[in-house]
């Protein structure tokens, strides 16, 4: 009789298998196994020698097979961490990224001393930025818009899940922004050019909503529209694609924003732009 596979064996095999398609194979394997066993990831380390039952193996194999077909781990798990929150995630909206946590960081830095600031998140997706700001910026009044009814439905679930107060509106930024004055307009707009879609990883290209990825001119549209609705002295904070920071900084300068500054993400790439509206 073949000895039963232990948890450690299974993890090793899954990581090897996923290594053909994923750069984070061991992490993926652990996250999926912890999820399917209903454990914290750290708890796996105390059970390496435990044999898995056939039912446990079957369930895990099904999850690994999904990941091997490039489905993002976050969609398989159905939830993902962002700042202090754990948000529901699925194919209706983009998975919140680590660099977007830096966007929130810059918003907090700019508004830390403001009392009851009015905040608008443009293209909210899961609601990540809006919810993190409602969570971390005491007294903020946060509104979030998205053109995608699907994304808004997911954001609504996240509002309920977190118990935070965020107003959600279905609204196309190309019609201008909802009336301010806003003390902060923040956006991680779609910034992939249509012709770049083919160059994206299959995880992104085949699973995340294209309305969240592709958006020719969306960054400029937000920067222009924000000038009409920001309070004088109010801040615009934008996430931009890798390689887009210098052009976006020049755009903000041209549009008359003051104190234009760029912040790098954790890998040293310039990804976050900010500027302040001045004058009337």
225 part of the interface to ligand SAM, by CB under 6 A: no
Q: Which is nearer to ligand SAM, 123 or 234 (CB)?
A: 123
Q: Using CB under 6 A, which of 74, 76, 107, 212 touches ligand SAM?
A: 212
For the record, the structure tokens of 119 come out as 């905040």
- Tell me how far, at minimum, the Cβ of 177 lies from ligand SAM, in Å: 9
- Cα 3 to its chain centre, rounded Å, is 43
Q: Is 72 an interacting residue with respect to ligand SAM (CB under 6 A)?
A: no
Kindly state whether residue 200 participates in binding ligand SAM, applying the rule CB under 6 A: no
Smallest distance, ligand SAM to C-beta of residue 17, A: 29
State the minimum distance, in angstroms, from the CB of residue 81 to ligand SAM: 13
Instruction: Give the β-pairing of 166-170 and 141-146.
Output: parallel
Q: Which of 7, 226 has the CB closer to ligand SAM?
A: 226
- In this chain, which residue has its C-beta nearest to ligand SAM? 123
Residue 208: strand, helix, or coil: coil
State how far the Cα of 211 lies from the Cα of 123, in Å rounded to an integer: 10
Among 34, 77, 201, 211, binds ligand SAM (CB under 6 A): 211
The torsion angles phi and psi of 212, rounded to 5 degrees, stand at -85, -15
Nearer to ligand SAM, 166 or 252 (CB): 166
Grouping H, G, I as helix, E, B as strand and the rest as coil, residue 237 is strand
CB 4 within 8 A of CB 52: yes
How many Cβ atoms are within 10 Å of 94's Cβ, its own excluded? 23
Q: Return the number of the residue (64 or 127) whose C-beta is nearest ligand SAM.
A: 127
User: Sign of the C-alpha dihedral, residues 102, 273, 222, 97?
Assistant: negative
Per DSSP, the three-state class of 48 is: coil
Residue 58 found at the interface with ligand SAM (CB under 6 A): no
Choice from 29, 145, 223, 249 touching ligand SAM (CB under 6 A): 145
Binding of ligand SAM by 33 (CB under 6 A)? no
Q: Which of 190, 186, 185 is nearest to 244 (CA)?
A: 190
Residues that bind ligand SAM (CB under 6 A): 93-94, 96, 100, 123-126, 128-129, 145-148, 151, 172-174, 188-190, 211-212, 215, 218
């Amino acid at each position: 009789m073949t000895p039963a596979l232990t948890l450690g064996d299974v993890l090793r095999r899954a990581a090897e298998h996923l290594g053909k398609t994923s750069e984070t194979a061991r992490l993926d394997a652990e996250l999926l196994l912890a999820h399917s066993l209903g454990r914290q990831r750290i708890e796996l380390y105390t059970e390496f020698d435990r044999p898995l039952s056939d039912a446990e193996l079957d369930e895990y194999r099904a999850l690994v097979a999904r990941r091997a077909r490039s489905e993002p781990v976050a969609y398989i798990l159905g939830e993902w961490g962002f700042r202090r929150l754990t948000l529901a995630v699925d194919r209706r909206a983009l998975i919140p990224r680590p660099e977007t946590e830096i966007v929130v960081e810059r918003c907090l830095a700019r508004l830390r001393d403001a009392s009851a600031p009015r905040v608008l998140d443009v293209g909210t997706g899961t609601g990540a930025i809006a919810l993190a700001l409602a969570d971390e910026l005491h007294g903020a009044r946060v509104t979030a818009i998205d053109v995608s009814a699907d994304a808004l439905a997911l954001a609504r679930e996240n509002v309920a899940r977190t118990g935070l107060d965020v107003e959600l509106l279905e609204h196309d930024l190309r019609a201008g922004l909802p009336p301010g004055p806003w003390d902060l307009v923040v956006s991680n707009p779609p910034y992939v050019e249509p012709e770049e879609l083919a160059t994206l990883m299959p995880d992104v290209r085949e699973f995340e909503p294209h309305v969240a990825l592709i958006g020719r001119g969306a960054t400029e549209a937000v920067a222009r529209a924000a000038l009409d609705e920001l309070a004088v002295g109010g801040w615009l904070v934008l996430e931009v694609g890798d390689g887009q920071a210098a052009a976006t900084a020049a755009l903000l300068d041209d549009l008359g924003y003051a104190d234009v500054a760029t912040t790098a993400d954790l890998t040293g790439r310039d990804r976050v732009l900010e500027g302040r509206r001045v004058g009337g």
